[in-house]
Structures are given as C-alpha cells and as structure tokens.
Structure 1
C-alpha cells in the first residue's frame, strides 16, 4: 500500500519520474516537468493524465498536426503510432500509463 501526493512531487530534471506501479508489463509513472518532451511515437498505447498545471499536447494524425491545451483532469490517449509531444505551460505533473520500456 502506498499513497502519493502528486502535487508535492518534484524531480531533479524535466520529465523526471516516480514509479507508482508496474502491472503485468504496464507502468504507471508520475512525471514532473517544466520543459517540453520531444516528438515521439510510443511502441504501444499511452494514457496521459494532467494532475497539476497545463500541458499543450501536439499530435499528428494522417500527416496533419493538431494542438490541444490539457487542463487538470484531462486525459490524452495515444493509440499505437500516434506521433506526439507534450509541452507544459510552466510546471506540470502528469501521470503516464504505458507499456514498460516505452519512450
């Protein structure tokens, strides 16, 4: 049993993470960041939940780039092959659920 207070979590570097759980090869990690990640495609599905702050999520579908501002409580689902990049507006804390070892 473990309780994590996400609003108190910080990391030494952008996208630093605290492992919450690993269930049958699926990881749940709490990330802190104040910098954009990088454009990438996961090798599996990904669920991205904003717990604190705001995050601009940019993604490409069929070669067309889209952008959506995610607020606290918003959930972004990236299906296999979805190219995307997360850019926080200031500091943000996000919960990421994905296949173990995914980028």
Structure 2
C-alpha cells in the first residue's frame, strides 16, 4: 500500500493565524486548503472594498479576529442593509447579491468559495483584483 502525500492542504494541521501573518497588505486572499472544488482562503482586510457580486456562487465570510461589515444591496434587500460580524461569527452572501465588505480596523478572515472565483466579482478587473490560486 502506498502513502499519498496531499498537495491541497489536506492531511495536516493548518495554523490560520500563522498563515495570515505571512500576508503582506490587505485584500490579498491566499489559499490554505482545498476541499473538493472549494478553496479556503485567509485574508487581512482594512478599509472598504468595492461593490461587487458573484453571479454563480455564494461566498462565505468567517471572522477570525476583528470586526467585518458587509453591506448588501439588490432586490429583496432594504437600503443600507449591513451584516456585522465579530470573531467567531460567519455569514454567507448568496450568489448574485451585490455586497461591499469593509473593516474600520484590521480584520482577519477565512473565506470559503469555489476554486476560480475572482475576488472582485463578475465585473471588470481592477487594481484590487488578485490572481487566483495563490497559496500560502
């Protein structure tokens, strides 16, 4: 019987805090593991991101440290609807819903989304668009 060594962050303990410490800058998600077609990404955020949406997938935000605000807009959402998350809390933004994450102070997150999802959503790429599949 042969032993298979995983290259997708499986079969091992992953220290999320240590991985996040390796990231320079904010809004630069990095993959730490995969499960089926889903990626687990860590990221440091501060300030406001842009409004964007993912037409074909939900997006999960889990706050590890700090406080995250996620503004939502679109059909079925009242004006100025905001989800506020603190350490140990999570939220799922449904596919197709425009959202704008932000944090007044540095906040550390774990994101769960399908492989290949562009961090800036379905719109045109800009200075905040990060290349996919960057592992740390």
TM normalised by structure 2 equals 0.67
Alignment gaps of 5+ in structure 1 = none
Cα deviation for residue 100 of structure 1 reads: 1.3
- Number of equivalenced pairs: 103
Query: 2:90 — aligned with what?
Result: 75
Alignment gaps of 5+ in structure 2 = 1-11, 120-136
Query: 2:13 — aligned with what?
Result: 2
Mean Cα deviation higher: 9-18 or 80-89: 9-18
Which structure has more relative contact order (CA 8 Å, sep 6+)? It is 1
Structure 1 stretches (4+) deviating beyond 6 angstroms? none
- Using the alignment, how far apart are the partners of 1:7 and 1:56 within structure 2? 24
Instruction: Report the aligned-residue RMSD.
Output: 1.9
TM normalised by structure 1 equals 0.86
CA distance 1:16–1:49, change in 2 (3 Å) = same
Cα deviation for residue 94 of structure 1 reads: 0.5
